[in-house]
Amino acid sequence: MNPTDYRRTAEALNALTEHQYRVTQEGGTEPAFRNEYWNNHDAGIYVDVVSGQPLFSSTDKFDSGTGWPSFTRPIESDAVTTKTDRTYGMVRTEAISAGAGSHLGHVFDDGPRDAGGLRYCMNSAALRFVPAAELEEQGYGAYRGLFETTAPQTAEENAS
């Protein structure tokens, strides 16, 4: 939806907190239930804290009970890439932002079946939340339609 080139830049990396850098650049994980967005229920989108690339929508967020923000899918099919992660003696699927290559979290196959069965389990430190009311002013107006609802028309309005 947006032709912006979302890349990792030295300036963006220098603006990260130590915690954000550890998570996005070194593959760190933040504690469950002690992160900014696990319990956020506001309407809006989540963007890469490094590049600003739109990654997830609150319309696809669900309470997984894990203590991390969880989504059924990315906001755009090509926004997130994956690779096999063999750290800590486990085999997992790592989620990475397509533009900046930021480590976001992991993808698991225990998500809601009616929404595809995937759980994108993300680190809040890798994300920045943009409230739906601020999409236009922050340059994400192309995603406004995700949060607009049209009132059903009455029979009189349909007749005119």
Q: How far apart are CA 48 and CA 79, in angstroms?
A: 10
Residue percentage of the chain with pLDDT more than 70: 91
Q: Which residues pair with 57 in a beta bridge?
A: 45
Residue percentage of the chain with pLDDT more than 90: 84
**Average pLDDT of the residues in 124-145:** 97
Tell me: pLDDT of 157 over 80: no
At 160 the pLDDT is 47
At 156 the pLDDT is 53
Coil/strand/helix, residue 88: helix
- Tell me how far the alpha carbon of residue 34 is from its chain's centroid: 18
Residues 6+ apart with CB under 8 A from 16: 24, 25, 49, 50
Coil/strand/helix, residue 59: helix
At 152 the pLDDT is 57
Q: Is 150 exposed, middle or buried (0-12, 13-18, 19+ CB in 10 A)?
A: exposed
The enclosing H or E element of 97 equals strand 92-97
Q: What would the DSSP string read from start to end of 2-49? A: --------HHHHHHS-HHHHHHHHH---PPTT-STTTT---SEEEEET
Domain 10-139 - what CATH class? Answer: mainly beta
Tell me: pLDDT of 149 over 80: no
Residues 6+ apart with CB under 8 A from 31: 67
Q: State pLDDT tens for residues 45-61.
A: 999 999 999 999 999 99
Tell me: pLDDT of 158 over 50: no
Sequence spans of domains, the chain: 10-139
Q: State pLDDT tens for residues 12-46.
A: 999 999 999 999 999 999 999 999 999 999 999 99
Q: How confident is the model at residue 150 (pLDDT cuts 50, 70, 90)?
A: low
Q: Just list the catalytic residues.
A: 121
